[in-house]
Copies of this chain bind each other. A is one copy, B any other.
Amino acid sequence: MKLYNTTISGNCYKIRLLLSFLRLDYEKVNINLKAKDQKKVEFLALNPLGQVPVLEDHGIYLRDSQAILCYIAREYDVEQLWFPLEPMLMAHVLEWLFFANQNIASSLAAARAFYLVNKPHVQIEHATEQAYAVLEMMNQHLSEQDWLVGRRATLADIACYPYVAMAHQGKIELDQYPYVQAWLRRFEQLPNFIELNS
């Protein structure tokens, strides 16, 4: 497997986390976002959206961090623990993957991008307001269970972890969300957890 990747991206971090949890070997290809490598013709041939991460496996290219998580889990997690096949459990995991893809992306991740890389088109007040709504909902959910779905960590937790853990970079405070904070610490105790920069 080859991961087209950049260190700072929370979406790329999700993939590195799963690959580490599953102890899978892969090659990293670092994409220079400042040089706009992701918008160059060669990269657009891999992902017409011009975004990292992209995963290459068996000569096929996959875009979208959440779809890549599902692929790796389906293909390499022999016990299907990270992405359960049972229809209702799978759907609950997917609820959180779509939540990460839309609700977290447009709030916590957008606020981080606004402050870290001056991302245009971010309405920062709206993103901030939405970020606290996201945290409120997650806090309520995590007041009743240790993990987002079922009794162990799944792709749901991996997909939601990075941008919540990095909330402060978007000037979002976690003080009022003790269950979210406890969940972050729980996640960080998982065997083979890695930091963003590792």
Which residues on A are within 8 Å of B, measured CB to CB? 48-49, 57-58, 60, 62-64, 66-68, 70-71, 74-75, 85, 87-88, 90-92, 94-95, 97-99, 101-103, 105-106, 121, 123, 126, 137, 140-141
Contact = CB atoms under 8 A, between A and B. Distances in A.
Given A123-B121, A126-B121, A140-B48, A71 B90 contact: yes
Nearest to A123: B121
Contact of A66 (B48, B63, B94, B123): B94
5 contacts: A49-B103, A62-B91, A75-B87, A101-B102, A123-B123
Contacts of A64: 94-95, 98-99
A interface, over-half SS: helix
Nearest to A94: B67
B68 A91 contact: yes
Nearest to A60: B88
What's the number of copies of this chain in the assembled complex? Answer: 2
Nearest to A58: B88
A67 B140 contact: no
Nearest to A130: B121
Given A64-B98, A66-B98, A91 B103 contact: no
Nearest to A105: B102
A130 to B, nearest CB: 9
Given A98-B98, A102-B105, A71 B88 contact: yes
Nearest to A99: B64
A106 B127 CA distance: 14
Nearest to A121: B126
Contacts of A74: 85, 87, 90-91
A20 B46 CA distance: 35
